[in-house]
């Protein structure tokens, strides 16, 4: 077995163990656990191409609304699952499928699927279908998150299938997103750019353009210099200093940065209240490393704060 195959097999085994461990957890994915800091640094397209060419890699694709153009692609450390985030445009209870706005992708579900709503971490299939059907009947496009275990090897780029082990109806829509394992087969050259390249996953031809941000999430909490992406649990807020303290001690200087309206919290005072109440508060954003620490200090240029439930 090659080193890359061995690494992927280890990630798959980890996925199975974690799924078994969390199957009875009422908090669900992204519940009250503390997220350790993750930091990312920018990549060139050639570096991104090399990362996929060196073996299976887990990536997160964030798409611009209404199409198949990547706003951002991150190369991430191995994880226990693959995930699709989108809104539902159609439901077929007899077939056990939902159709997503994301490229018209079809998600299958069945007897092995766990169903969740914003208020309940485990509901029956019929209850979940009724909630989706009611939202569609009212003219809505209910937001969902579909999760599954990764396979033993990356799925063929032209294979559109995705059977969810976990289907969550969300309270509000997020930007469309795909988290999946890929390799060099998923990246298709373009004879006459633009776009720069086609990243094909689930038979969706996602465009990588000159405006697509490419990032590498560094393993083990390594700290890059200069421009940085960050994501972690918020453990403390200092409103007077306009700072957030992240798990691990990193200090984020918020200053006058406008909070992302797609988040859940939009001011330091609301973040402070949520942390004080014991809620699981998570932030992600971009900024510049202003001190290597300890503690590491980051001056934020973009920030989004969410409450995991």
Specify the CATH number for the domain of residue 265: 2.40.50
Query: What local confidence, expressed as pLDDT, does residue 227 receive?
Result: 87
CA-CA distance, 228 to 286, in Å (whole number)? 6
CA-CA distance, 74 to 249, in Å (whole number)? 24
In a domain, 30, yes or no: no
The predicted model scores a pTM of: 0.78
Same domain, 59 and 204: yes
Q: Hey, what are 175's tokens?
A: 């930007």
- Report the share of the chain in percent with pLDDT over 90: 75
Residues 236-272: tens digit of each pLDDT: 999 999 999 999 899 999 998 999 998 999 999 999 9
Residue range of the domain that includes 134 = 3-24+43-217
Query: What local confidence, expressed as pLDDT, does residue 225 receive?
Result: 79
In a domain, 301, yes or no: yes
Of the residues 155, 186, 217, the one at which a domain ends: 217
Contact 210, 194 (CB under 8 A): yes
pLDDT at 197 over 50: yes
SS3 content of the chain, % helix, strand, coil (to 5): 20, 40, 40
Residues 51-108: tens digit of each pLDDT: 999 989 999 999 998 899 999 999 998 888 999 999 999 999 999 999 999 999 999 9
Contact 169, 128 (CB under 8 A): yes
Same domain, 102 and 128: yes
Mean pLDDT of the chain, nearest integer? 88
pLDDT band at 219 (very low <50, low <70, confident <90, very high): confident
Query: What local confidence, expressed as pLDDT, does residue 174 receive?
Result: 87
Residues 152-196: tens digit of each pLDDT: 999 999 999 999 999 999 988 889 999 999 999 999 999 999 999
Same domain, 228 and 205: no
Same domain, 243 and 117: no
Which 8-state DSSP code applies to residue 257? P
Contact 84, 146 (CB under 8 A): yes
Q: Quick one: average pLDDT of 23-38?
A: 53
Domain count, the chain: 2
Q: How far is CA 276 from the centre of its chain?
A: 26
Contact 213, 71 (CB under 8 A): yes
In a domain, 37, yes or no: no
Same domain, 198 and 256: no
Of the residues 163, 193, 217, the one at which a domain ends: 217
């Amino acid at each position: 077995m090659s080193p890359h195959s061995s690494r992927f097999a280890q990630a798959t085994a980890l996925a199975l163990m974690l799924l078994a461990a969390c199957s009875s957890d009422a908090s669900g994915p992204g519940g009250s656990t503390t997220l350790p800091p993750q930091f990312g640094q920018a990549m060139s397209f050639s570096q991104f191409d090399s990362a996929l060419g060196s073996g299976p890699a887990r990536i997160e694709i964030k798409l611009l609304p209404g199409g198949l153009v990547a706003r951002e692609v991150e190369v991430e450390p191995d994880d226990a699952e693959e995930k699709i985030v989108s809104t539902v445009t159609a439901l077929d209870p007899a077939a056990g499928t939902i159709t997503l706005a994301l490229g018209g992708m079809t998600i299958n579900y069945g007897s092995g699927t766990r169903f969740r709503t914003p208020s309940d971490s485990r509901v029956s299939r019929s209850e979940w279908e009724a909630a989706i059907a009611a939202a569609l009947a009212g003219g809505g496009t209910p937001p969902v998150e579909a999760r599954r275990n990764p396979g033993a090897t990356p799925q063929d780029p032209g294979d559109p299938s995705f059977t969810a082990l976990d289907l969550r109806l969300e309270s509000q829509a997020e930007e469309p997103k795909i988290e999946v394992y890929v390799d060099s087969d998923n990246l298709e050259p373009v004879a006459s750019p633009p776009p720069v390249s086609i990243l094909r996953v689930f038979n969706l031809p996602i465009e990588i353009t000159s405006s697509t941000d490419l990032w590498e999430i560094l393993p083990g909490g390594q700290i890059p210099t200069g421009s940085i992406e960050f994501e972690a649990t918020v453990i403390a807020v200092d409103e007077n200093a306009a700072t957030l303290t992240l798990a691990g001690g990193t200090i984020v200087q918020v200053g006058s940065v406008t909070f992302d309206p797609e988040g859940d919290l939009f001011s330091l005072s609301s973040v402070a209240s949520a942390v004080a109440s014991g809620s699981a508060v998570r932030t992600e954003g971009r900024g510049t490393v202003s001190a290597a620490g300890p503690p590491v200090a980051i001056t934020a240029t973009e920030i989004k704060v969410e409450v995991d439930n």
